Structure formats: C-alpha cells, structure tokens
Amino acid sequence: MYLFWKRNSLGGISISAEGMRSFVKNYLSKPYACDQISLSKGEDCLFVLITYPEGASSIDMEMTETRVKSKLESLGLNVRITW
C-alpha cells in the first residue's frame, strides 16, 4: 500500500508503507517491532506504531524512539511515535 505524502505542480510523492516499516525495522532491536505506519495528510506527519516487550525499560524505549525518529526526520518527515 502506498501512502500519499506531498503534491505540487510537478506531481505527487507517495511512500510505500511496507518500505517504511522495513526501514524502521532496521533501527529496532529485537523484540521491538514496527506494527503500523500511517501518514496524516492534514498534519504532514508520519505516525509509527512500535510494539515492545512486557517489562521493557523506559530508558531503552526512549533510546529506541530517539534513534528511529532521527533516522526518519533525516528523510524530511515529521514523525510521531506511539507505543
């Protein structure tokens, strides 16, 4: 599935949801998983749903969120991560 991202007079840009999930998975350590990616047209924001194991430490979750967010923001995307 492709998610619409931007449009201008030269055309539009769509993002592969599966491709973005694969990209995010590169920056997750097991057993963390990227379950869902969605794109908010109105907010121009990529929403990333990451699942975590029971008992995961808040420090590890924060480091994971920072790492994933910085990689996606380097692509020019606004990012919001939910757990």
Q: Total domain count for the chain?
A: 1
Asked whether residue 45 is domain-assigned, the answer is: yes
Domain harbouring 49, CATH code: 3.30.70
Tokens 């924060």 correspond to what residue?
62
- Residue 68's H or E segment, with its range, is helix 58-73
The per-residue pLDDT for 44 is: 75
Asked whether residue 5 is domain-assigned, the answer is: no
**Beta carbons within 8 Å of 44's beta carbon, 6+ residues apart:** 5, 6, 78
How confident is the prediction for the chain on average, in pLDDT? 89
Asked whether residue 71 is domain-assigned, the answer is: yes
pLDDT digit string, tens, across residues 58-82: 999 999 999 999 999 998 889 999 9
- Separation CA 8–CA 42 (nearest Å): 15
Asked whether residue 63 is domain-assigned, the answer is: yes
Q: Are 12 and 3 in contact (CB under 8 A)?
A: no
Q: Is the pTM of this model over 0.75?
A: yes
Terminal Cα-to-Cα distance of the chain (whole angstroms): 22
Instruction: Provide the residue range defining the domain that includes 42.
Output: 17-82
Asked whether residue 26 is domain-assigned, the answer is: yes
